[in-house]
Structure 1
């Protein structure tokens, strides 16, 4: 599996990007060269130099240090949203696919209601109603994201529940919930796991977008989307203020996408 995973150069690149993000998030105090919240008006809008690798922003804060600490916020949002929405969607999809009938209709119609709205618009509405903060963005994205896992797992369960080994479990009198959670779910969770690895990057991108329009992290938080938003007015005179946070988002999303493709090659039997 490891040989197949690292066989693709693009997968290796994605793994390296994600590994760098993890290192930045775990060792932010050791890597950052300045206090990310320290204001120094005399050093405002300084271009990249030996003292400030990525330059400074409109109030003299070190952009490199803010990006390093911002990796913690972005990774926290991505992981928590997936860790909340993945189990909810997986369990609901497994129950709907296995029991069918009225249970399936209720769960899937509820899923269709959420999917009938564009995800980012629904997240914006929830975040706006709750108020601008990182916690509310996290909750809004978790509410938006679970239906995708429900559909994926339900489809997998429908294709597996008529298999011979499931019929054998029924024949020996196994409890339906034991069959579902011990026999069916472990064999149908791989597609949803692949989607979860891809979604980490998209969640980080969506959270940055919500912060960019003022619904997420608020100043002076070193969140990448908020940094992009505050640098809009100085883009012409200080290109570095928006370029480096934008590149951080770009490489993070690209890394998770490439890593997800590698996991698909390993976990998806159709790719073998």
Structure 2
């Protein structure tokens, strides 16, 4: 399986990019050359050099160190949103698909209500109502993301709930919840898992977007979207202040997308 995942050069590139992100987040105190919050006006707007390889921002903070520590924030948001929304959406989708009837109607109509709003607009509304902070952005994105897993898992459950091995379990008198959690769910969770691996990058991008417009992480937090926002006014005189945080977001999203595509090719039978 591992060989099949890495048989594609693009998937290997994705794995390398994600590994770099994980490495930066795990060893940020050892990799960062400066305190990411340390202000030094005598060094403000310094271009990339041997002393500051990514340059400094408008108050003299080292951009490389801020990007390294920002990887922790971005990875934390991405993982927590998926960890919260994936189980909720999976459970609701499995229950709706297996039991059907009124239960299915209630769950799916609730899902349709959430999906009827553009995701980023709904997340913006929730984050604005709760107040600007990275924690509220995390909660807002989790609320927005779970319906997608519900629809995916429900579709998978509907496709296998009348399979022969499921009918055999029913004939043997197995409890419905045992059939659902022991037989059906393990065989229908792969598409949602693939989607979750792809969503990590999109969640990080959405969180950066919300921070960029002031609804997420607040200064002086070294969050990539907030760094982009604060560098808008100095873009002409200090191109590096926006370029490197933007590249960090680009390569992170690209890495998760490429790795997710590789997992899909391996785990999704329709892709074989």
Question: Which position in structure 1 is the counterpart of 2:18?
Answer: 18
Aligned ranges for residues 66-215 of structure 1 at < 5 Å? 66-215=66-215
- Correspondences of 1:22-37 after superposition (within 5 Å): 22-37=22-37
Matched residue SS, 1:48: coil
* 1:39-54 alignment, distance < 5 Å: 39-54=39-54
The equivalent of 1:227 in structure 2 is 227
Give, in angstroms, the shift of residue 125 of structure 1.
0.1
Deviations, residues 135-179 of structure 1 (Å, cap 9, x unaligned): 000000000000000000000000010100000000000000000
Shift of 1:58: 0.1
Per-residue deviation, residues 186-220 of structure 1 (Å, max 9, x unmatched): 00000000000000000000000000000000000
Hey, what's the Cα distance between the residues in 1 that align with 2:109 and 2:229?
Answer: 37
CA distance in 1, matches of 2:171, 2:107: 28
| C-alpha distance in 1 between matches for 2:117 and 2:181 | 31
1:140 aligned counterpart, secondary structure? helix
Alignment partner, residue 250 of structure 1: 250
Q: CA deviation at 1:115?
A: 0.1
Partner of 2:57: 57
Q: Which runs of 5+ in 1 are unaligned?
A: none
TM-score for the superposition, normalised by structure 1: 1.00
Q: How many residues align?
A: 272
By how many angstroms is 1:42 displaced?
0.5
Contiguous gaps of at least 5 residues in structure 2: none
How far, CA to CA, are the matches of 2:2 and 2:136 in structure 1?
Answer: 38
> 1:271 Cα shift?
1.9
Task: State the alpha-carbon separation in 1 of the partners of residues 7 and 271 from structure 2.
Answer: 13
Question: Offset of 1:266 from its aligned partner?
Answer: 1.0
Between the aligned partners of 2:173 and 2:97, the Cα distance in structure 1 is 20
Spell out structure 1 runs of 4+ moving beyond 2 A: none
CA distance, structure 2, for counterparts of residue 227 and residue 240 of structure 1 = 11
In 1: Cα distance, 2:89 partner to 2:175 partner: 22
By how many angstroms is 1:270 displaced?
1.6
Given the two structures, how large is their TM-score scaled by the length of structure 2?
Answer: 1.00
* 1:96 shift after superposition: 0.1
Structure 1 CA distance for aligned equivalents of residues 37 and 103 of structure 2? 51
Give the drift of 1:269.
Answer: 1.1
- For the pair 1:260 / 2:260, whether they are aligned, the reply is yes
CA distance in 1, matches of 2:270, 2:159: 14
